[in-house]
Structure 1
């Protein structure tokens, strides 16, 4: 029954996902956070949640535009369930905004497969990655994805390899100009937190350990089938599916090296992880097993909330 509801794109699916993600956001900011909010803070949180939900819609657009799934809404359901399973991922407003810009960059990067307006798309992708890194420095690692996609499309034109740096430089010039006008110096507006940490003591609670174990277990299991399925794809689509996995790997690296491990760094992982798991669900032939698989992902966050 669950799979039949989300096996086709329907307006009701987006409403369900909206309330799941809203519930996760409320838990993160009003239960897990110790902040005391005034009226202006509440308005700001409403805007940030709008960015969060629009990220989900952007993911749906990326998936549909590039035929990454079989015209279903599994990916947005999974995304929202991941948020509910680990609501800590919504604690950082800056990472929510940064993740949104990374999705915009991913959209432009994947569109390179059409080989139309390459320079414009490369500039846009690098521009969005640079903007994302202003909110969270390590988002700059997604710059690697742009060149990985160029390699996958076997683009050997030197001009195209230079274009992404112009996007990066453009953002740098804008920020420096802003800093000169507002702060009276060159780099006062640029705050780079490039530290690395391998301290995972913040995840010592049973809830976090169970949630992360479930996410990683489902992710690794689905990734095995995802990588195997790439060979079966049409040749023109293989680079796209490889790009998604590279993006997933980059997000995983960010999660590993994040200086402040409060759970919010997992947000970068969720969009591409949702695509990978959604692809695995599509490969399951037995309907009963597909139902159980999804049911576990639905029940797990509910159980974790009760614990």
Structure 2
């Protein structure tokens, strides 16, 4: 029954998924024991709007570029992978940063049609720059913009300069903002965060369990994806390589960020959800398919409630 439901892509599917997201999102906030005040409510609503928008854009990316079949399997996996990371749900800055990273990824994938190439490269670079204002290390995804240029439009040398210009524009606008409000410059030295390979921030029960589940999913989904990769249509392979690159960049960022509390793993969710959809689209038989979906739906409740 669940497999039939998620195999369709209808408005009711997105409404039910959004309600499911809201329930888990609310539980995550409740578990954090936040005090109910104006600023917390604003962060709660703002974070949830960013979360839902990200889900919709993930679906748009997969459907528009034919990365998966016409279904809601990908967004269901995306919600599963984000809700097992409770700290990411209660961090509005991480949700906002992830939203702009996904928007940037959408622009990079749009380079394939060969139209408005320079404006799309600039748009992707601006999105990554804005994402880095919310969470500095998301600036690492500028690598994906260069990969997109390499795959789709490598011959025009001007294209390679545009991402740097995009980041400079974000820096200049940020300086204008800080000068207007705080009468000070946006200092690069204060903007850049150090690198750390310490993993002490994961040494708590929920963190270990979340990382364990995410590690198993990454290894399992990625292995199946690589096995099935050669069977994918040739025209979609550049897109798929970019998705793999996005996952690898996200994993690299998890390794080097200074403050680790599992919230930074939210960047893994989008590419891994697209990669994991390959597994859900395989013919396992009805019974096993239903078990898969029930596990993905119920496991976040176990992590958040126990």
TM-score, normalised to structure 1, is 0.93
- Structure 2, unmatched stretches of 5+, are none
Count of aligned pairs: 306
Deviations 1:42-70 (A, max 9, x none): 13321221111111111111111111110
Q: How does 1:107-126 map to 2 (within 5 A)?
A: 107-126=106-125
Do the aligned partners of residues 256 and 27 (structure 1) sit closer, same or farther apart at CA in structure 2, a change above 3 Å counting? farther
Do the aligned partners of residues 189 and 138 (structure 1) sit closer, same or farther apart at CA in structure 2, a change above 3 Å counting? closer
Deviations 1:72-124 (A, max 9, x none): 10111111122332222212211111111111101101001111110010000
Q: Confirm or deny that 1:64 pairs with 2:66.
A: no
Residue 25 of structure 1 is matched in structure 2 by 25
Residue 239 of structure 1 is matched in structure 2 by 238
Q: How does 1:143-158 map to 2 (within 5 A)?
A: 143-153=142-152, 155-158=154-157
Residue 78 of structure 2 is matched in structure 1 by 79
Q: Is the 2:101–2:127 Cα contact (8 Å) retained in structure 1?
A: yes
Measure, in 1, the Cα distance between the counterparts of 2:227 and 2:112: 21
Residue 166 of structure 2 is matched in structure 1 by 167
* Of 134-143 and 233-242, the range deviating more from structure 2: 233-242
Superposition RMSD in Å:
1.9
Measure, in 1, the Cα distance between the counterparts of 2:85 and 2:149: 34
Q: How does 1:1-307 map to 2 (within 5 A)?
A: 1-32=1-32, 34-153=33-152, 155-187=154-186, 191-307=190-306
Measure, in 1, the Cα distance between the counterparts of 2:37 and 2:119: 42
Question: For 1:185, what is the secondary structure of its paired residue?
Answer: coil
Do the aligned partners of residues 92 and 193 (structure 1) sit closer, same or farther apart at CA in structure 2, a change above 3 Å counting? farther
Q: Is the 2:153–2:159 Cα contact (8 Å) retained in structure 1?
A: no
TM-score, normalised to structure 2, is 0.93
- Structure 1, unmatched stretches of 5+, are none
Runs of 4+ with deviation above 4 angstroms: 188-191
